[in-house]
Amino acid sequence: MRIGQNPAKTIERVVQPRQVTVAIVTYIPFLSGYYAQGLDILEASLSSLRANTSEPFDLMVFDNGSGVETQSYLRDEYAKGNIQYLIFSGRNLGKGGGWNFIFGAAPGEIIAYADSDIFYHPGWLTRSLEILETYPNVGMVSARPLRSREQYFSATLDWARRTSDVELTQGQFITWEIFNQHSLSCGIDETQSRQWFNESCDWKLNYRGLEAYAGAAHFQFVARKDVLHTLLPFEMDRPMGQVRALDEQLNEADYLRLMTAEPLILHMGNMLFDGQAGMGGREKRTHRVVDWPPFRKMILSIYHRIFRLYYGRS
């Protein structure tokens, strides 16, 4: 039995999803140890996204089993209208599980994926879309030049070498400062970083007057949804450490993996960089003895063992 008519029947049009869905996976189980600044970093990431993205987009956040503080913050952002699609997982499905969900569910034709520790600079999406729409058969575009192994972008180099109107140049084009900035965010010490910098090189492409670098980063990229759908589902039995499957599958399928020539995003890691404090309304903590690198490395090693003891089994 029905009493009255559903008032939704009077709505003549519904809002259509935007062409670009920015999709983020986050996992902040608590706010101590490695994750002490996790919520500050997430706030800085989302604030920089809103401040420095000129194109219209919908934001989808997949929370992969975070703690109550992070979930409360995300609910508040959703209530404010800053997040259009908010999904909570009752347990950590790993990066592959998060990708399977958001790549399948994102409504936009283009998915701009990022981990929750990415800081966005003006023009990051504009330049990424320009490359995506200019170069043919693009699998993914990252908004920062960095170096990775050629085995993950060999198809890009093969295409450039056999295409007459592509200028392909090999050399050291990324500056040490830009290179080391990313290395520091990954916890790589300067000695090791300097060695890799000296021994590696960059591949620069110029196609139809638009410059790009060969390679891409699975922690941040822009891709067409229909391309990502061809890779689903990702079968990863660990929460992290198997994300190279995305790089490998795109390369094996002969898709181009490209990067912008300018560093338009920054991987923050688990500590805020100078100039990012306050983006989310919080202040960066002052320097303390626990932030001294040798001491911090020792403490985090102990913390890592404790984390595995309590959270290593599902």
- Within a domain: 45: yes
Q: Tens digits of per-residue pLDDT, 161-175?
A: 999 999 999 999 999
Q: What is the pLDDT of residue 13?
A: 73
What mean pLDDT is predicted for residues 137-154?
96
Q: Look at residue 45 and tell me whether its pLDDT is greater than 50.
A: yes
Q: What is the CATH number of the domain that holds 248?
A: 3.90.550.10
What is d(CA 271, CA 78) in angstroms, rounded to the nearest whole number? 25
Residue 177 has a pLDDT of: 94
Q: Is residue 1 part of a domain?
A: no
pLDDT at position 260 is 98
On whether the CB atoms of residues 24 and 58 are closer than 8 A, the answer is: no
Which pLDDT tens digit goes with each residue over 53-62?
999 999 999 9
The whole-number average pLDDT for the span 179-193 is: 90
Residue 273 lies in a domain: no
CA angle 282/288/289 to nearest 5° reads: 150
β-pair type (58-63, 85-88)? parallel
Kindly state whether residue 79 falls inside one of the protein's structural domains.
yes
User: What is the reported pLDDT for 11?
Assistant: 67
Domain range for 120: 20-267
Least confident of 75-84, 143-152, 235-244, 257-266: 235-244
Residue 8 reports pLDDT greater than 80: no
Of residues 300 and 166, the one with the higher pLDDT is 166
Alpha-carbon gap, residue 73 to 88, rounded angstroms: 12
How many domains does the chain divide into? 1
Q: Helices 38-51 & 68-79, crossing angle to 10 degrees?
A: 20
Instruction: Confirm whether 15 is domain-assigned.
Output: no
- The reply to whether 283 falls in a domain is no
